[in-house]
Amino acid sequence: MKVLVSGGTGYIGSHTIVELLNNGHEVIAFDNFYNSKPEVLNRIKTITGKDIKFYKADMLKKDELEVIFNENEIDAVIHFAGLKAVGESCRKPILYYTNNICGTLNLISVMDKHNVRNIVFSSSATVYGETDTVPVDETMPVGHATNPYGETKIMQEFILSDLYKANNNWTVTLLRYFNPVGAHESGLIGEDPQNVPNNLTPYISQVAIGRLPHLNVFGNDYPTPDGTGVRDYIHVVDLAIGHIKALDASCGKKGVFIYNLGTGKGYSVLEMVHAFEKATGIKINYKITDRRAGDIAILYADTEKAKREIGFVAQRGIDEMCRDLWNWQKKNPHGFE
Ligand code: WQD
């Protein structure tokens, strides 16, 4: 298939492009480089030996999207482009609602105009909101997120579902990511936060490389085995492969399809720290601090539906996640620069 990847130079987007190319798909991509670097394109070429067609474009500029669709016969879109820092979204809600909602509205209206009606959307487990029931499965109600970033994911799910209700020719796949971590085994691509990392694992790897003094563990008084938050960490290459599986399964089908992409296993913050130390031999200094506003105690996936319907089962364990994360970080101490 000829696949358009929005946000193609981002963390998940770049890893998914590698897997699309490995699986014989033709890739067009665009990005505005708000949270990524052009160097990623060179790395993708080095890893795969293949070229992609790339446009520097912003989904807030409909005319830039029109150029892409006028110049290419696109079969499906995998939509990653969006702002995704939880903390930043609390400080800048207008930026997040404008970019993520208006951007997606632009994209789907240009898709509709060009009769491109297969979209795979990068959603998030954050749509489940505060839940006391784990593991979470796709039948569980979409809650209220604890931040504007999460709210934009919920709204985008509703918008895309309404597309199909209005026109049954649409194929909408909503992929709810749990916690993506790690990097491609080559260490050539990986997560490159533009500021101090919000997320746990890039923070740990920056402590390990010496860019940050220690890790702050946000609370150890949660109702969990060691008191720290429990999450479902999934290797980013497994996550990327989940997109290929979902895209292939969508062919010839119409409707709205929702899948958790996780491992079904939860690890606490301290278990993640110890796993990283074991995999790398590097001691991670940390301090226990107050809880972070908006955090929940435990969240991990019920993975049965993805296994049953699209044949997806995460293959990479926590040791490989930590080794690949460290391999990327030590080869790129300052990211893509
Ligand atoms: C994981 C655990 C923290 C940082 C969010 C979004 C989700 C997705 C991933 C984009 C929690 C603890 C963290 C730190 C810590 N976003 N922590 N010290 O909050 O589960 O999910 O990021 O793709 O949609 O909601 O991920 O990595 O921020 O936190 O103790 O410096 O690590 O309290 O228990 P989270 P996270």
Q: Which helix (H) or strand (E) element contains residue 77?
A: strand 76-79
Residue 245 structure tokens: 């599986």
Residue of the nearest CA to atom 13 in ligand 1? 200
What distance in angstroms lies between residue 310's CA and the mean position of ligand 1's atoms? Answer: 27
CA distance 231 to 136: 12
Taking the CA of residue 299 as reference, the ligand 1 atom at the shortest distance is 20
- pLDDT for 145 equals 87
Residue of the nearest CA to atom 22 in ligand 1? 199
DSSP tag of 115: T
DSSP tag of 316: -
The whole-chain average pLDDT of the chain stands at 96
Q: Which residues, including other chains, have CB under 8 Å from residue 281's CB and lie 6 or more apart? A: none
DSSP states of 117-167 as a string?
-EEEEEEEGGGG-S-S-SSB-TTSPP---SSHHHHHHHHHHHHHHHHHHH-
- pLDDT for 293 equals 82
User: What are the Cα distances from residue 106, in Å, to 37, 39, 109, 272?
Assistant: 23, 27, 5, 39
Identify which of 202, 176, 325 has the alpha carbon closest to the alpha carbon of residue 262. 176
Q: Is residue 200 within 6 Å of ligand 1 at its C-beta?
A: yes
- pLDDT for 76 equals 98
Identify which of 158, 206, 198, 156 has the alpha carbon closest to the alpha carbon of residue 179. 198
Mutating to test ligand 1, I would choose from 80, 195, 269 the residue with most ligand atoms within 8 A of its C-beta, which is 269
pLDDT string in tens for the chain (337-residue length): 999 999 999 999 999 999 999 999 999 999 999 999 999 999 999 999 999 999 999 999 999 999 999 999 999 999 999 999 888 899 999 999 999 999 999 999 999 999 999 999 999 999 998 888 999 999 999 978 888 999 999 999 999 999 999 999 999 999 999 999 999 999 999 999 988 999 999 999 999 999 999 999 999 999 999 999 999 999 999 999 999 999 999 999 999 999 999 999 999 999 999 999 999 999 999 999 999 987 889 999 999 999 999 999 999 999 999 999 999 999 999 999 8
Residue 89 structure tokens: 């979204």
The answer to whether 174 and 123 are in contact (CB under 8 A) is yes
CA distance 182 to 198: 15
pLDDT in tens, 245-286: 999 999 999 999 999 999 999 999 999 999 999 999 999 999
The answer to whether 282 and 210 are in contact (CB under 8 A) is no
Residue of the nearest CA to atom 36 in ligand 1? 199
Taking the CA of residue 295 as reference, the ligand 1 atom at the shortest distance is 33
**Phi (first) and psi of residue 219, to 5 degrees:** 95, 135
Residue of the nearest CA to atom 21 in ligand 1? 179
**164 catalytically annotated:** no
Q: Is residue 268 within 6 Å of ligand 1 at its C-beta?
A: no
Taking the CA of residue 125 as reference, the ligand 1 atom at the shortest distance is 24
pLDDT in tens, 173-197: 999 999 999 999 999 999 999 889 9
What distance in angstroms lies between residue 65's CA and the mean position of ligand 1's atoms? Answer: 32
Residue of the nearest CA to atom 18 in ligand 1? 217
- The beta-carbon contacts of 141-146 under 8 Å, at least 24 apart in sequence, are 146/293, 146/294, 146/295, 146/296
